[in-house]
């Protein structure tokens, strides 16, 4: 089943050069943009989610490293991030944190890791942005050992027929350009199930973000059977 609706929505394509320059600005803006959201509940939510992370942990699209503070000292951490300006910030944050970890410059669609490598894969606010959602989830299943878990925290499409859903479609092009490829209208829960995961914990929530399009939020745990 096709679980992606973004291409059907009106889109705006930024010229490559502009998108690159904007990408560097966006990486610099990312922490200030998320500051209120984290303080108003999202940092606590990350902490609750990541309490369950154990063993060899691979984080997708780790951004500037908002999750770093929430991992147990014992986990073996690989942070992946394909976007160079974000990856540089991530490396600085990791070094300042004083904890062990590796940063890999890689997209979720092509992780340079062997099959059955990880006990836990973490995706927070990333599956909205990956270029190919189905390929990313297939790759996550490939690197997770059988019985391994995907811990996710993702904003998703509003219910079809609602005003919010209509606005998500109308604003898609602008938001996709502004937020470097983010889609407001992905059916991520369906995509996780369709890729063969068994969802064992699922909470539907509201992200404390100032842009009202970025709702609802789903977070929880899916197991690689």
- Binding residues (CB under 6 A) for ligand SAM: these are 60-63, 66, 81-83, 86, 107-109, 124-126, 129-131, 181
In whole angstroms, the minimum distance from the beta carbon of 151 to ligand SAM comes to 11
In whole angstroms, the minimum distance from the beta carbon of 55 to ligand SAM comes to 20
Whose Cβ is closer to ligand SAM: residue 133's or residue 158's?
133
- Reduce the secondary structure of the chain to three states and give it as a string: CCCECHHHCCCCCCCHHHHHHHHHHHHHHHHHHHHHHHHHHHHHHHHHHHCCCCCEEEECCCCCCCCHHHCCCCCEEEEECCCHHHHHHHHHHHHHHCCCCEEECCCCCCCCCCCCCEEEEEEECCCCCCCCHHHHHHHHHHHEEEEEEEEEEEECCCCCCCHHHHHHHHCHHHHHHHCCCCCCCECHHHHHHHCCCEEEEEEEECCCCCCCCCCCEEEEEEECC
In whole angstroms, the minimum distance from the beta carbon of 81 to ligand SAM comes to 6
Whose Cβ is closer to ligand SAM: residue 88's or residue 165's?
88
**Cis preceding-peptide flag for 166 (omega within 30 of 0):** no
Whose Cβ is closer to ligand SAM: residue 58's or residue 86's?
86
Whose Cβ is closer to ligand SAM: residue 66's or residue 93's?
66
Whose Cβ is closer to ligand SAM: residue 103's or residue 158's?
103
In whole angstroms, the minimum distance from the beta carbon of 175 to ligand SAM comes to 12
In whole angstroms, the minimum distance from the beta carbon of 121 to ligand SAM comes to 11
């Amino acid at each position: 089943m096709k679980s992606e609706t973004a291409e059907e929505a009106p889109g705006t394509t930024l010229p490559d050069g502009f998108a690159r320059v904007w990408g560097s600005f966006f990486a610099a803006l990312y922490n200030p943009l998320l500051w209120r959201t984290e303080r108003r509940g999202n940092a606590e939510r990350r902490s609750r989610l990541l309490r369950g992370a154990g063993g060899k942990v691979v984080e997708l699209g780790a951004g500037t490293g908002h999750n770093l503070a929430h991992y147990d000292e014992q986990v073996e951490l690989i942070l992946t991030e394909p976007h160079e300006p974000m990856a540089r910030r991530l490396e600085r944050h990791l070094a300042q944190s004083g904890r062990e970890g590796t940063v890999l410059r890689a997209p979720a669609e092509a992780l340079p890791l062997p099959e059955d490598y990880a006990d836990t894969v973490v995706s927070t606010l990333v599956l909205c942005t990956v270029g190919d959602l189905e390929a990313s989830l297939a790759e996550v299943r490939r690197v997770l050992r059988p019985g391994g878990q995907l811990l996710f925290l993702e904003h998703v499409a509003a219910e079809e027929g609602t005003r919010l859903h209509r606005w998500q479609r109308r604003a898609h092009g602008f938001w996709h350009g502004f937020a470097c490829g983010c889609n407001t209208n992905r059916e991520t829960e369906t995509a996780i199930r369709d890729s063969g995961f068994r969802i064992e914990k699922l909470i539907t929530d509201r992200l404390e973000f100032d842009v009202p399009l970025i709702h609802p939020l789903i977070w929880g745990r899916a197991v690689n059977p």
